[in-house]
Structure 1
Amino acid sequence: MKTVPLLKSAALAVAATLAFVSAAQARTVEAIKKDGKIVIATEGQFAPFNFYQGKQLTGFEVEVAEAIAARMGLKVEWKAMGFDALLAGLKGDRWDMVIASHGITEERAKAVTFADPHYCTGGVVVSKGGALKSAADLKDKVVSVQTGTTYLENVKKVAGVKQVKNFPQDTDARAALASGRVDAWVSDKFVALEALGKNPGDGLKIGDFLFVERIASAVAKGNTGLAGEINKALAAIQADGSYARISEKYFKQDIRCAK
Structure 2
Amino acid sequence: MFKAALLGATLLVTGAAAGTAMADTLADVKKAGVLTVATEMQFPPFDFLENNEYKGVDRDLIDEVAKELGVKPKYIDLPWTSVLPGLEAKKFDLVIAPVTITKERMKRYAFTVPISEATAAIMKRTDDKSINKPEDIAGKKVGGGKGTSQLAQLKEYAQTLPTPPDVREYVDSNQSYADLAAGRIDASVNSLPNLAFAAAKRNETFTVVQPPFGKPSYFSWVGRLGDDDKSLIEAVNAALVKIQKDGRMAEIQKKWFGVSQELPTTVPEPQL
Map 1:75-90 → 2, pairs under 5 A: 75-90=72-87
Residue 231 of structure 1 aligns with which residue?
Answer: 237
Q: Distance in 2 between matches of 1:204 and 1:32?
A: 43
8 A contact 2:134–2:210 mirrored in 1: no
- SS of 1:247's equivalent? helix
Q: Distance in 2 between matches of 1:58 and 1:162?
A: 34
TM-score by length of 1: 0.84
Residue 193 of structure 1 aligns with which residue?
Answer: 196
Q: Unpaired runs of 5+ in structure 2?
A: 1-19, 266-272
Return the offset for 1:69.
1.1
8 A contact 2:113–2:264 mirrored in 1: no
Residue 41 of structure 1 aligns with which residue?
Answer: 38
- Relative distance call for 1:44 and 1:104 in structure 2 (3 A) is same
- SS of 1:165's equivalent? strand
Give the letter for the 1:250 counterpart.
Answer: W
8 A contact 2:198–2:206 mirrored in 1: no
Residue 91 of structure 2 aligns with which residue?
Answer: 94
Map 1:177-256 → 2, pairs under 5 A: 177-211=180-214, 212-222=216-226, 223-256=229-262
- SS of 1:217's equivalent? strand
Which one has a larger percent strand, Structure 1 or Structure 2?
1
Q: Distance in 2 between matches of 1:237 and 1:136?
A: 38
8 A contact 1:87–1:112 mirrored in 2: no
Task: Indicate whether 1:150 and 2:146 are aligned.
Answer: no
Give the letter for the 2:102 counterpart.
Answer: T
Identity over the aligned pairs, expressed in percent?
27
Q: Deviations over 1:27-64 (max 9, x none)?
A: 61111111111001111111111111212111111101
8 A contact 2:123–2:206 mirrored in 1: no
Name the Cα RMSD after superposition. Answer: 2.0
Q: Distance in 2 between matches of 1:200 and 1:136?
A: 22
Task: Indicate whether 1:110 and 2:107 are aligned.
Answer: yes
Q: Distance in 2 between matches of 1:130 and 1:150?
A: 27
Q: Distance in 2 between matches of 1:33 and 1:255?
A: 31
Q: Distance in 1 between matches of 2:52 and 2:180?
A: 28
8 A contact 1:156–1:164 mirrored in 2: yes
8 A contact 2:100–2:118 mirrored in 1: no
Q: Distance in 1 between matches of 2:248 and 2:121?
A: 28
8 A contact 1:118–1:256 mirrored in 2: no
Q: Unpaired runs of 5+ in structure 1?
A: 1-22
Return the offset for 1:154.
0.5
Residue 12 of structure 2 aligns with which residue?
Answer: none
Give the letter for the 1:137 counterpart.
Answer: D
Larger mean CA deviation between 106-115 and 127-136 belongs to 127-136
Match of 2:170 among 167, 170, 182: 167
Q: Distance in 1 between matches of 2:48 and 2:24?
A: 26
Residue 18 of structure 1 aligns with which residue?
Answer: none
Residue 176 of structure 1 aligns with which residue?
Answer: 179
8 A contact 2:110–2:224 mirrored in 1: yes
Map 1:68-79 → 2, pairs under 5 A: 68-79=65-76
